[in-house]
Each structure stands twice: as C-alpha cells, then as structure tokens.
Amino acid sequence: MELEIRRMTIEDLDSVIDIEEESFSVPWSRDSYESEISRNILSAYFVAEADGRIIGYCGMWFILDEAHITNIAVQKSFRGKGVGKRLVECLLEEASKKGIVNLTLEVRDGNIAARKLYEKMGFVVEGIRPGYYPDNHEDAIIMWKREEEQ
C-alpha cells in the first residue's frame, strides 16, 4: 500500500468525518475540524492517503512548549497495517521541527489498541483522570513522551 501523509485540507473533511463517526462514540463535528484547520494557527492536522483515498488522520495543538495530540483515527478496514504508527511518527516529526520534544495525550482506559500504539511510540502513562469521559464515565489515561525518553 502506497501511503502518503500530508496536511489536512477542507476537501478532505467528508472522508475525515466518515472515519470520525465510525471511530468515536462522541465524534467531533465537521465545524470543529473546519475551524481547527482554517482558524487555529496553533494546530497541525494531517491525513493518510492511499490510492487517492483518505484512510486516516491525526492532529495536535501546540501549547507553549508542549504538543497535545487531539485525535488520531484510521478507517476500520485499514487498521492493523501500520497507518496509525505512520501518523504518530508524522506528529512527532512536526513537533520536533518546531523544537517541541514533550508530547501528551489522553486515551480511554479501555482503548487497548490506541494505548499499545502510543506505548510503542514511546509514550508512558503518567496519570489518570477518573471518570473523565462524560458518555460512560470511563477513566482517561494521561500519557507523555518527554525529551529524555526519545
């Protein structure tokens, strides 16, 4: 599979929203993504494209000297093929280009696939926010990847 990782544009949003809705119990809206890519200058969003199809995406916010990964998702039928790993690598590279070496994210306690992916990429668990997610009161696991761990 020939995979290209590039910046997300407005034209990608139909596909992004399809993947968002199949991936999350509380999906972000199209307006949120539109605002992220057109108005939030402290964000960076990318898509993974294979044979002209958007099959995944990711994004982050730059907050002072930290990067917060906001979303990452891969279309169901393309999971388990290394796309998620490529997307995280892209975020790490983009942060590094800006001189940012400390990255953080939140993940649902029960989201084993995502937790394993982040662990593989060098993130470690640093905290828990009990009952953080309003839809099912699941705990949020806070993970960090810091300079000395890279």
Ligand X SMILES: CC(C)(COP(=O)(O)OP(=O)(O)OC[C@H]1O[C@@H](n2cnc3c(N)ncnc32)[C@H](O)[C@@H]1OP(=O)(O)O)[C@@H](O)C(=O)NCCC(=O)NCCS
Give me the residues that bind ligand X (CB under 6 A), please: 23, 72-74, 79-85, 107, 111-114, 116-117, 120
Instruction: Judge whether 118 counts as a catalytic residue.
Output: yes
CA distances from 142 to 19, 72, 119, 135 (A): 24, 15, 12, 18
CB of 35 to ligand X, least distance (A): 20
Smaller CB distance to ligand X: residue 62 or 89?
89
Smaller CB distance to ligand X: residue 99 or 135?
135
CB of 133 to ligand X, least distance (A): 11
Q: List beta partners, residue 72.
A: 58
Residue 36: what are its φ and ψ, rounded to 5°?
Answer: -60, -45
Is-contact 144 126, C-beta < 8 A? yes
CB of 108 to ligand X, least distance (A): 7
CA distance 76 to 140: 23
Residues catalogued as catalytic = 106, 118
